[in-house]
Amino acid sequence: MNAKEMLDKIVKIIARQDVDRNLALFFMNTARRAIIRDREITRFLSYLQNVPVVNGEIDIEAQRLKSTKFVEHEKKTLAKLYDYEAARRIYPDFFIQGVPRHYLELGTKIRILPVPVSGNIGIVGEVWPNDLTDNIASSDITTLELPEAWIYLATAEYLDYFDETEKGNFWRQKGVLLVDQYIAELNAQAANGLESTVRPYYMNPVRSDY
């Protein structure tokens, strides 16, 4: 289902003459972002190749990364450093150049250590989807597999906005239940060895699926 069709359904559910589609769209996107922020949806796992590195840093926001699973340099997995002080003990100079061995997440940046002189950086991570628009071309994996959840959650937010909280809670419960069932199904598939968007990483420090 595309976003235009989803908005059409929201308008029908609300059943008011003065439904504002732009407001409904806003609520659909904010509800969706909130769900995606609080839960891991493996359908949004992506493998980013040739990621730009500037002075040893990767801009997380520019790559639309919600979370990073693995970082690699020339197919070799880098070890993650979880503590800034520990990273400083290993690398007193964050700008020293060499063959990368580690990475450190600092706010909205990922620092590669040492700074690579050459070679490609790849990242496996959960990527934020683009916001939906009121258009038949606006869709992604979750609008195809989970459209009712976003319809129900947007309806709930819209009704709450107009102080119809009892109705809003009814639709919110239906939407959250669908999301939880969807994520449980994805996790069950992963447990049974079925691939989602990106094949499972990594059993070995060097990738073998090229």
Averaged over 49-73, what is the pLDDT? 94
What is the structure's pLDDT at 45?
84
What is the structure's pLDDT at 119?
94
Residue 207 has pLDDT above 50, yes or no: no
Pick from 170, 144, 143: nearest CA to 13 = 170
Helices (H), ranges, 39-164: 84-90, 141-145, 147-161
Q: Which of 33-47, 57-71, 126-140, 156-170 has the lowest mean pLDDT?
A: 33-47
Residue 208 has pLDDT above 60, yes or no: no
What is the structure's pLDDT at 142?
86
What is the structure's pLDDT at 98?
96
Better-predicted residue by pLDDT, 209 or 177: 177
Indicate the residue type of 37: R
Residue 51 has pLDDT above 60, yes or no: yes
Averaged over 188-205, what is the pLDDT? 52
Query: Per residue in 185-196, pLDDT tens?
Result: 988 876 665 555
Question: Distance of CA 94 to CAs 26, 99, 113, 143, 199, Å?
Answer: 42, 13, 7, 42, 32
CB distance 81 to 103 below 8 Å? yes
pTM: 0.76
Indicate the residue type of 185: E
User: What percentage of the chain carries pLDDT values higher than 70?
Assistant: 90
Q: Which burial class, exposed, middle or buried, applies to 171 when counting CB atoms under 10 A from its CB (0-12, 13-18, 19+)? A: buried
Averaged over 5-15, what is the pLDDT? 96
Residue 129 has pLDDT above 50, yes or no: yes
Q: Where are the domains of the chain?
A: 3-41+130-190, 51-119
